[in-house]
Structure formats: structure tokens, C-alpha cells
Amino acid sequence: MFKIIFTFAKKNKYMHSPYMIDWAITNRCNLNCIHCRGMANKELDEKIIYKTANEIASLKPQWVIIEGGEPFLREELFDILEIISKKILKFTLSVMGC
Ligand code: SF4
């Protein structure tokens, strides 16, 4: 499973895309912190993760956060970043999920 949180900075007639999308692309992590809030057990398969990346890019949010778990454990990470960076000016890669 995955989560996408859409946050709208302000709802008005001039804003048609989300301000920010926070996407946890994996639940795997190198650490095992006792305070970890955890995530759902299943991850998106390769086909769905690329589809999701393209859908996020098509929404043209102002800012995308890629997190996990540890996003570098997802082998598609650099492809995902390439898809997203073509249409989105600002993105953040949050390592170790926290
Ligand atoms: S995702 Fe964050 S809180 Fe959870 S185990 Fe990894 S580093 Fe710790």
C-alpha cells in the first residue's frame, strides 16, 4: 500500500493543482526504530509505481516529497525521480523516512 497526501495551500479559483504531494514509495527501511509509525505491508508493484509517478507528474504539484521507509531501497527510485523532475520544479527526497 502507499499513501499520497494532497495538501492544498489555499483553495481559490486560481489554484488548480495540489501544492504538495507526499509519497511514501516503500515500507522497507535499514533501521527498525521503536517509534516507527509503520506502514501497510504491501508495496506497489513496478507497473503501478510508474503509473503513479506519471499521475503525480500530470497533476503538476508545486512540491513533491518522496519518502518511505528508505526510498533508496526501491530500485525504481531514479526512474521515478526522472519522471517527476520533468514536470515538477521542486522535490525533496527524504531518506530513512523520517
Ligand atoms: S522509516 Fe524512519 S522511523 Fe521507521 S524504521 Fe526507518 S528510520 Fe526508523
Total structural domains within the chain? 1
Q: Assess if residue 14 is contained within a domain.
A: no
Model pLDDT, residue 87 = 83
Gap between the Cα atoms of 62 and 48, Å rounded: 23
Q: Tell the residue nearest (CA) to atom 8 of ligand 1.
A: 33
Q: What is the mean pLDDT of residues 75-95?
A: 89
Residue 23: is its pLDDT beyond 50?
A: yes
Gap between the Cα atoms of 26 and 97, Å rounded: 9
| Domain extent at residue 83 | 3-7+20-35+43-93
Which of the given ranges, 37-51, 55-69, 84-98, has the highest pLDDT on average? 55-69
Q: What is the mean pLDDT of residues 20-25?
A: 91
Query: Model-level pTM?
Result: 0.77
Our CA angle for 36, 4, 75, nearest 5°, is: 70
Q: Assess if residue 87 is contained within a domain.
A: yes
| pLDDT tens track for 56-77 | 999 888 899 999 889 999 999 9
Query: Residue 31 CA: which ligand 1 atom is closest?
Result: 5
Model pLDDT, residue 13 = 59
Q: Assess if residue 12 is contained within a domain.
A: no
Query: Residue 29 CA: which ligand 1 atom is closest?
Result: 6
**Percent of the chain at pLDDT exceeding 90:** 37
